A = this chain, B = another copy of it.
Amino acid sequence: MAAYPAQPAGDMKPPVPHVPAGEMLKLLDELAAYSAPGPGVTRLLYTPEWQGVQHFLQERMAGLGLEVRMDQVGNVYGTLAGSQVSDKVILTGSHIDTVVNGGRYDGAYGVAAAVTALHYLLETFGPPLRTLAVVSFCEEEGSRFPLTFWGSGNVTGLYSGKECIDCTDADGITLGAAMAACGLAGDEGLAAEAAAGLEQSGGSRSAGCGSEGSEVESMAGLEGSFWRNNSPVRSDIAAYVELHIEQGIILERTSRRIGVVQAIAGQRRYLVKVGGTANHAGTTPMGLRQDALAGSAEMLLALEHSALAEGDPLVATTGRLEVYPGTSNVIPGEVQFTLDIRHSEAGVLERFCAAVLAEFAELGRRRGLTLEVQMLLETAPAPMDQELRAALEEICLQQEKPYLSMVSGAGHDAQLFAPRCPAAMIFVPSQGGISHSPGEYTSPEELAAGLEVLTAILYRLAYE
């Protein structure tokens, strides 16, 4: 890679085909054992299962010769110090938490593959030229507390630490208390003290509790403000590479082994309120109605039509819709529904959303309905690094793995790194596109293929 001092490979050989997939598959089994009872895997942030798995990973990585560290929010690192460059880190990994009744692969695969790749590289080629590290992010899913990307978001400065004080889970336990129960810097005393400090320091914008990771703020200036010791914030990351299951059906439908992610789609989420007139379903003639649901139905069809006309990778979804008063013999007086619209290009996303909302307004006007639109979330598209993408495509060709250059419609930790350092993502197929479910599945061969590509790119970044 042009960004790093070139070095002749000497007698080193690029790492294929002896990457030990068996070790990774066994590790995936071991990780899946850390789960709350119930179908699939449930490993929520700061629960006993979560503590168990992060402890297990630290022990395992230490045993493999990695230098192990847990930061103040619970992100776990396993590092191989570079023999030539050690002030910057080539980082790889994913998140270790799951949704409730999730699968064995979402997140855990990226961690297990990274540990296996580093172990293999160390055993085969010795210490890297440039520092190489695995990360097991504490959280990404937002399944226990109303925030996502708590792991990578703390590393990149999306979060300020204040969230410890405000956020509560479904049982009313604060994030700070949950952290303190794990021996992390979340106890209220520290949080209050730090919050006071933060107010004085000022200027660093927080995404706040309930944010969904829409914007990534500067990494600077936070270290030492909230996190007294062992701050999660890092400014030494030279590149971030994440291996993940696709969680979609595109690779399966196109019979590709590997997805090289071009960009993680940007997203806008809206709440739309359509107001009509609730009235008696029997006594109000069809011609005298302002039916908020009939109007909403017309809007949803227009949305689908526009999205199909725009073409891939644009996706537009209404996943939630509520009708008021919601009684079979009353004409709906109000409907509220969500819009989730995604595209990899900011300009297209902007134009499409504006056009759809204008059409909604026109449809509402024509029916005498009121329309209120509130943007709930805006995430900018996160383009992956061009050079890393090119390198990944070259590796796929070398390894004779059919690949697809594709957009990720789902959010990933990599999107938080993309604005600050070269970032890349490698996808493997998800059977039937199923994820966030015990039915999540990727075959051992496909998992092994992803590991081989990851190992090769890490070799290029850290050893060449």
- Taking Cβ atoms with an 8 Å cutoff, the residues of A that contact B are 246-250, 253, 265, 267, 269, 279-288, 291, 293-294, 296-298, 300-301, 304, 307-308, 312-321, 323, 325-332, 338, 340, 342, 376, 408-411, 433-436
Contacts and interface: CB of A to CB of B under 8 A. Distances in A.
Contacts of A246: 283
Contact of A301 (B298, B312, B327, B376): B298
A390 to B, nearest CB: 24
Contacts of A294: 300-301, 304, 318
B338 A280 contact: no
Contacts of A376: 328
Contacts of A279: 249, 433-434
A328 B301 contact: no
Contact of A249 (B265, B281, B288, B307): B288
Given A269-B328, A323-B320, A323-B321, A315 B410 contact: no
Contact of A319 (B315, B319, B332, B411): B332
Nearest to A267: B282
Contacts of A330: 317, 319
B320 A321 contact: no
Number of copies: 2
A267 to B, nearest CB: 7
11 contacts: A249-B279, A249-B283, A269-B329, A283-B409, A284-B409, A285-B312, A285-B313, A286-B308, A297-B298, A319-B325, A328-B340
A332 B322 CA distance: 13
A277 to B, nearest CB: 9
Contacts of A410: 280, 282-283
A320 B286 CA distance: 17
A250 to B, nearest CB: 7
